[in-house]
Amino acid sequence: MCVFTWTFVQTSCLKVPKTYNKKDLVSPVLCTMALSNPNEITLVLVGRTGNGKSATGNSILQRKALETKLASGSVTKTAKLEKGVLKDGRAVNVIDTPGLFDFSLGNESVSKEIANCVNLAKDGIHAVLFELSVRNRFTEEEGNAIQVLRGLFGHNITDYMIIVFTGGDALDKEDMTLKDYLDSNCPPPLQELRSLCKDRIVLFNNKTRKENKKTGQINEISFLVNKVIAENGGKPYTNELFLKLQEETMRQRKQKEEADFKALTTKEISRLNGQMKKKYDEQVDRVSGMIESKLNVTIRDLENKLAAEQLAHSKTKRDAESAQTRSDKEIHKLKEELERVHHRPPIILKCPSPPPPPRTKTCGRN
């Protein structure tokens, strides 16, 4: 689930958190924020089970609208939408999601839940808050979730994404900043995600009781959400999945207007409502089927990519092991040679014996 807020000072200028540079104040993006400010905003919060999505939603809504418990499994079993009103009077739709990318449930179940989420946000998504926790290392599951999101909704979905790190209280205890944490805990997949999101990152402490802390972090996340909205021209994210449901919604709205005009009886209205519900459910099922098909392709591509990487890694490992083996043999051979030289008996050089003295002739008597 996710939420955002838009804060003005009395002069109607955007209030910018202290963590941002002064040069941002004159950014064309910020100057157009007020012009691209929709009256109703939809935010979706996604992330691994246990990262505190529901707690973040409650913090932003400033009320306990979503259930949170200490549990090993997901408290949120299906996507849920909660409505609220921002300080500037705009309506906000906050969609909390379960572990959308827990593929142990099977692709069909995951597809239906994603379709449910799309149904709740059928008019489009203004921002996606991708939740991570400073208490946990960035996992392969979370890296794959990003790839699946981009596979299902297109690569530009990350243009609408903000990274929210929960567990700010844990960093406070260690007297660490988010920058300190990222400098020591940012593996390559997380670095790539940061780049895709243009470093739109915020730290959240859902346990704080300090009002100034609560206000400050809400202002930060609000600033980033409104920046995303402005950078995308105030238009929510949609694709063919959303359009299918929008078309059916518009068709049924027209049917209902015609029914009101004809002044149908209660029985006829009831029958018409049943028919419209059936048609809409069928459309949701078709969207779910589309999602499952795209999900299967995306997962297959990921598996192929992983297999290729593992193959390359195995080859590199084998080459390294082969080189190490050759090196070990050379070293062993050299050691043996040195040992032979060390134990070889010394060579004693003997000087040649001097030649015997010449024999002298003795003169005999004649």
DSSP-derived letter for residue 69 is: -
Residues sharing a CB contact under 8 Å with residue 138, sequence separation 6 or more, in sequence order: 132, 185, 186, 187, 189, 190
Q: How far is CA 253 from the centre of its chain?
A: 37
Q: For residues 201 and 216, give the distance between their C-alpha atoms in angstroms, rounded to a whole number.
A: 14
In Å, how far are 191, 254, 258, 278, 321 from 266, measured between CA atoms?
59, 18, 15, 18, 80
Confidence at residue 6, expressed as pLDDT on a 0 to 100 scale: 32
Confidence at residue 29, expressed as pLDDT on a 0 to 100 scale: 46
In the chain the domains, ranked by start, together with CATH numbers, are 22-237 (3.40.50.300), 242-309 (no CATH)
**H/E element holding 316?**
helix 266-343
Contact between 17 and 220 (Cβ < 8 Å): yes
Q: How far is CA 64 from the centre of its chain?
A: 26
Between vectors from CA 276 to CA 273 and to CA 277, what angle results, nearest 5°? 85
In Å, how far are 258, 269, 272, 348 from 265, measured between CA atoms?
13, 6, 10, 127
Nearest to 227 by CA among 199, 256, 185, 247: 199
Digit-by-digit pLDDT tens for the chain (366 residues) are 443 333 322 223 344 555 555 445 434 444 445 445 678 888 999 988 888 888 888 887 878 888 776 544 555 568 888 988 777 677 888 898 876 666 666 777 778 888 888 888 878 899 999 999 999 888 888 888 888 888 888 889 999 999 999 999 899 899 999 999 998 888 888 999 999 999 999 999 888 888 888 888 888 888 898 899 999 998 899 888 777 777 777 777 777 766 666 666 777 777 877 877 787 777 777 777 777 777 777 778 777 877 777 777 777 887 788 888 888 888 888 777 777 776 666 666 566 667 777 766 555 554
Contact between 159 and 197 (Cβ < 8 Å): no
- Name the CA dihedral angle for 205, 208, 212, 213, rounded to a multiple of 10 degrees: -20
Q: For residues 124 and 122, give the distance between their C-alpha atoms in angstroms, rounded to a whole number.
A: 5
Q: For residues 17 and 223, give the distance between their C-alpha atoms in angstroms, rounded to a whole number.
A: 7
Confidence at residue 5, expressed as pLDDT on a 0 to 100 scale: 32
Q: For residues 252 and 246, give the distance between their C-alpha atoms in angstroms, rounded to a whole number.
A: 10
Confidence at residue 267, expressed as pLDDT on a 0 to 100 scale: 77
For 185, half-sphere exposure in the C-beta direction (CA atoms, 13 angstrom radius) is: 16
Antiparallel, parallel or unpaired: β 161-166 and 201-204 = parallel
Contact between 111 and 151 (Cβ < 8 Å): no
- Token readout for 252 is 């049924």
Three-state SS at 312: helix
Confidence at residue 200, expressed as pLDDT on a 0 to 100 scale: 95
Confidence at residue 14, expressed as pLDDT on a 0 to 100 scale: 44
